Chain A
Amino acid sequence: MSMSDQEEATFMERLVFNHRLMVVVLFTLVTIFLGYQATKIRPDTSFEKMIPLEHPYIVNMIEHQDDLASLGNSIRIAVAIEDGDIFSSEYMETLKRINDEVFFLPGVNRAGLRSLWTPNVRWTEVTEYGFDGGPVASRPAYMTEDDLNELRVNVLKSGEIGRLVANNFKSSIIEVPLQESYPNPENQSELIRLDYGEFSTMLEEKIRNEFQNENPNISIHIVGFAKKVGDLIDGLMAVMLFFAVAVAITFCLLYWFTWCIRSTMAVLVTTLIAVIWQLGLIHLIGFGLDPYSMLVPFLIFAIGISHGVQKINGIALHSSGADTALLAARRTFRQLFLPGMIAILADAVGFIALLVLDIGVIHELAIGASVGVAVIVFTNLIMLPVTISYLGISKGAVARSKRYAASEHPFWRFLSNVAHPRVAPIMVILGLVAGVGSFLYQKANLEIGDLDPGAPELHADSRYNLDNEFIISNYSTSSDILVVMVETPPEMCSAYDTMEAIDQLEWRMNNVPGVQSTVSLVTVGKQVIMGNNEGNLKWQALSRNQDNLNNAISRAPEGMFNSSCSLAPVLIYLNDHKAETLTRATDEVKAFAEEYDTDTLKFKLAAGNAGIEAATNEIIASSELTILVLVYLWVGAMCLFTFRSLPATICIVLPLILTSILGNALMAFLGIGMKVATLPVIALGVGIGVDYGIYIYSRLESFLRQGMPLQEAYYQTLSSTGKAVLFTGLCLAIGVATWIFSAIKFQADMGLMLTFMFIVNMFGAMLLLPALARFLINPEKVRNKKDSFLQH
């Protein structure tokens, strides 16, 4: 080691390279420890993390969670017969066996189970002597034509057509209410939390596969929150496979870029170590892997690879002038550590801006991603050069990079024309037109919220959504429910004034476009009052007699009011969960509450899946701008700090803004709404996208400082880094592009949008940045300027 090298060396460099062995040992130990932690990480799709807990709707919902519980968490299993109808012994016997099987699944609230076979499904009839009634399935078995005829009559009298029995009589539903936690069968005092993933698997194996395989004439359709979460977890597992695909593709690309198996492996392994560290760290923090934070390892991998490539590129260039691999590594470290740090800092803080969005999964995504990029500082900025200093780079690769640097590149020469005085205005105008056009288009077409029918988390053609579609089209129900919570003092939920106000609310909601129907204790109460009056339709109204009302609601199903009679939910069934529909409904409820709320009677939003979506949409609408402003402010500040030049900052940030606008237009075009999954894309896309600009501009500036005219300086920039920039863009895009094939819809949307953002940001930096520089940057000034923060 020559003295001169030591003198030039920074403190960091001395710290790292004078104790190389220690560094390697330390990193190995940390990797082993964090790797062990990473193996313990579990999928986590906790419901509460996916919703904005601070939103007033959700606060209200959580306040009444216990009272609303019996409304919400259930699954519905539709058992359908292809050939024939449900009034056959074949069907009824199968249904009975499925019913029994479901009854014994752990976590099922057995008392609440409802199907044609359960005794709580009854028929009633008004006779001269009062109510007559009995269970629909009154016989132990249905073998004869007589039995089946009786069943048919009972079903007709039960009023369950459209609810428990399909409108076309070719299927019926088993309603399965679930318990969030249930007693351990071995030890009754211990409570087991319901594992949605496991429960969903049991449904598939013990119910769907078992009975569909046994009788091809039977088909099973299952919907419900627990099933949806189970499917999400399955989708999550599939994403693991994508990671392997991304690694394999990246390996090929890396080898193509370096032609050196040693450095390829070094980059790949150090980057994978970064991923392991990140996973281990988030487990230590206490996070699990949810469908959102699942993205982080992919991002970390992509970012790590792109930084690794720059390192390798640098080391290869330095190798030609250096005697040893160690010296080349040290020089590269010296040159790239600081810009690398800054780029990573930009990423990390860009992610932190996401904390504005008050949703648990996004918080975890932001923190996880920030931790991840911080890890890259250690693995790819420190450990990679150290590794290479041992391994060295193959001679062939070094010679190749030398040849490449020296030769003339017609393609880059051609591309450098964008900085030409005549071409630059065209580029700027093209950019402007695209920007303004897209802006207007997205302004008119971009919607907030999930736009697809069914469960928006999953693809429209996923099994879950097909099952959902089956149930919606065969039964008179909707899967989008907005719940208004009506609060009264204890024992007042059945007061005439309360019930009358709820009745008014229901009719007002029924007249809002997008509302299908409403259900509450009033709806039920009116039916009971009619029933108590011999089924006379003319009595289908609320009674001013309190005894009558109390009697009426005492027959309402569970969940229509709470045990202290101080809460009555109003269920509003919606056509869909588009933001427009939700806003119309919630606005109407708010207007109604304004008019009808008193000191003792309160109409509160909101529960139900539509209520949660409405809250989420409101959060997104209110944080969208804040996040954008924060991200751009930060990115701008970073550029300003790095280059000490406002024009340079504008050159770098404007293409990013154009990309954001184009991204929004693409979302509008593809019918993807602005939602929890797509909002982070902007922050991630911009935070990472700025790397290209910083990288290109720093080179451009260094060549300008050497006194080159703009176009020539840009040509030199492209010659030295164009390939690396292209490669970085490809790496990032590939890392996230595999997501497009995810079974989880919003992951696919995220993958698509991020891929778009990364690639378009790259082109924006390569094509628009130099064109803008033509107008904004004065080469004379740059030449005379003092050294910028980065020394090249």
Chain B
Amino acid sequence: MQQPHFWRISSFEQADVQQPVPRSTAGRSRKIVMALGLTGALIGGASLAVAQDANTEALKPAILSLKASKTLLLDVELVGERLVAVGSRGHIVYSDDQGESWLQAPAPTRQLLTSVDFVDDRHGWAVGHDSLILHTSDGGESWSVQYRDPEIDQPDEENFGFLEKPLMDVWFRDARNGLAVGAYGLLLRTEDGGQNWEDASFDVDNPDGFHYNALTEVEDSGLFLVGEMGTMYRSTDYGYSWETLEEAPYDGSWFGVAGTGEAGGVLAWGLRGNMFRSTDFGDSWEQVELLTPNNGPLESTLSGGQLTADGRVVVVGVGGVVATSDDHGRGFKVTVRSDRVALAGVAGLPDGNLVLVGQRGAMKTDAQGVSKSSSAALTLPEPAATEE
């Protein structure tokens, strides 16, 4: 079993900040190149070629593309009047017209970004592969790197193979205190708005290094963390001490978790349409029955979801599944979109409409997840229609 690693903390407050003097010359050249790459990323690629020749690990800025809002996006968040979504190739897109049109923000990476969280209209964090943490202080229009897996630049020679540790979710309590969680039990914590990230992986009892997939705040209770192989943790002090839930209701992986809007109310979901609900912050669980429009049991994987500002719970999944609940997760209405595209995240708009993100980017839909201009090309003969 893979031992947890001891991660060096590095700070990337500014890309061109002087790095500590490294011990080995090989290390130095990598560091310099890394700094060059970051500088290049921020000033627009002038020094890009230099960085590329010397070290392919250097960060390259995301390519600005008209297709950025039409390719894989994994998370979307409503920030005041603005929607911000993150996804593949360092794409960060934002919309100021409720998801009708999108602009791409320059971002200093081309890695897959998995999650985004804002504490107010201006301050937000995005996380992704390479344990990247990006920060914005202007509502998502520009981003800088706060943290990146230090092992990429200082590979541990003793180790057998590099362990890829993507961050999967990020949550901030306020502009200073936040957590980022990810694969192999990685948990990072900051108390100064991300200027310094501390590896707090050992705070959680996760000897097997299971992946953490999602983290959420539960009304009047604390934080709830879910992951691989049915793992569940909760924290009543917002991330300093973690309690393992031994009596997990299910041993498959959890892909998402959300509060229900009621005190102590938690919803967790994962593979093959499995969804469980707790009203007591995880002490006891009951399964939520999800039925397809044909009244068969839903068997698609549920990926992302959230409690919207107006109290609805919306969960989306692969195969174009959109499940919505108006009663704090007691019952869900399931829509299977005709395009059957894999969905990863959702944001609820004040007018009740939804913005979905997934394999084909962002889509604005009605409250049930149906696109207004439904693509007629992709219609599927349903079994129900043929049954006599």
Contacts and interface: CB of A to CB of B under 8 A. Distances in A.
B129 A500 contact: no
B380 A169 contact: yes
Interface residues of B, number: 53
Interface string B136-170: 00000000000000001000000001111010100
A544 interface: yes
B324 to A, nearest CB: 20
Given A87-B386, A169-B380, A595-B49, A537 B342 contact: yes
Contacts of B344: 537-538
Contacts of B52: 595-596
Residue in A168, A537, A540, A546 with the greatest tally of chain B CB atoms within 10 Å: A537
A511 interface: yes
Contact of B168 (A128, A534, A538): A538
A57 B377 CA distance: 38
Interface in A142-200: 145, 148-149, 152, 156, 161, 167-169
B250 to A, nearest CB: 8
Contacts of A727: none
Contact of B88 (A168, A501, A533, A540): A540
Given A126-B301, A511-B66, A537 B72 contact: yes
A545 interface: yes
Contact of A511 (B65, B378, B381): B65
Interface in B81-99: 88-89
Nearest to B151: A544
A497 B57 CA distance: 9
Interface in A87-135: 87, 126-128
A166 B301 CA distance: 24
A167 B378 contact: yes
A710 B369 CA distance: 86
Contacts of B213: 536, 538
Contacts of A785: none
A304 B164 CA distance: 76
A445 interface: no
B110 to A, nearest CB: 7
B100 to A, nearest CB: 22
B126 interface: no
Nearest to A529: B164
Interface in A501-541: 501, 504, 507-508, 510-511, 533-541
B56 A128 contact: no
B381 A169 contact: yes
Contacts of B114: 538
A547 B74 contact: no
B271 A534 contact: yes
Interface stretch (B4-12, B29-37, B251-259): B251-259
B72 A540 contact: yes
Nearest to A534: B253
A712 interface: no
Contacts of A148: 386
A31 interface: no
A82 to B, nearest CB: 15
A541 B255 contact: no
A533 B110 CA distance: 21
Given A127-B272, A507-B63, A547 B377 contact: no
A545 B110 contact: no
A145 B386 CA distance: 9
Contact of B253 (A128, A145, A156): A128
Given A145-B386, A546-B161, A511 B56 contact: no
Contacts of A595: 49, 52
Given A87-B381, A510-B67, A541-B129, A547 B301 contact: no
Contacts of B379: 168
A298 to B, nearest CB: 46
Contacts of B66: 511
B162 A545 contact: yes
Contacts of A511: 63, 65-67
Interface string A670-701: 00000000000000000000000000000000
A510 B67 CA distance: 8
A548 B184 CA distance: 15
B358 interface: yes
B38 interface: no
Contacts of B387: 145
Nearest to A547: B161
B287 interface: no
A331 to B, nearest CB: 77
A501 B52 CA distance: 11
Contact of A537 (B340, B359, B378): B359
Interface in B214-250: 228
B65 A536 contact: no
A39 to B, nearest CB: 54
Contact of A545 (B60, B67, B112, B161): B161
A535 B358 CA distance: 13
Contacts of A507: 63, 65, 89
A60 interface: no
Residue in A169, A536, A548 with the greatest tally of chain B CB atoms within 10 Å: A536
Contact of A538 (B74, B110, B164): B74
B383 A149 contact: yes
A543 interface: yes
A71 B327 CA distance: 53
B271 A126 contact: yes
B384 to A, nearest CB: 10
B108 to A, nearest CB: 16
Interface of B: 49, 52, 56, 60, 63, 65-67, 71-72, 74, 88-89, 110-112, 114-115, 129-130, 152, 161-164, 166, 168, 211, 213, 228, 251-253, 255, 271-272, 301, 303, 318-319, 340, 342, 344, 358-359, 377-381, 383, 386-387
Given A85-B381, A507-B65, A540-B72, 7 more contacts: A87-B386, A507-B63, A511-B63, A535-B318, A544-B130, A547-B161, A595-B52
17 contacts: A85-B381, A127-B272, A128-B251, A504-B60, A508-B63, A511-B67, A535-B301, A536-B303, A537-B318, A538-B166, A538-B344, A540-B112, A541-B112, A541-B166, A544-B130, A545-B161, A595-B49
Interface of A: 85, 87, 126-128, 145, 148-149, 152, 156, 161, 167-169, 497, 500-501, 504, 507-508, 510-511, 533-541, 543-548, 595-596
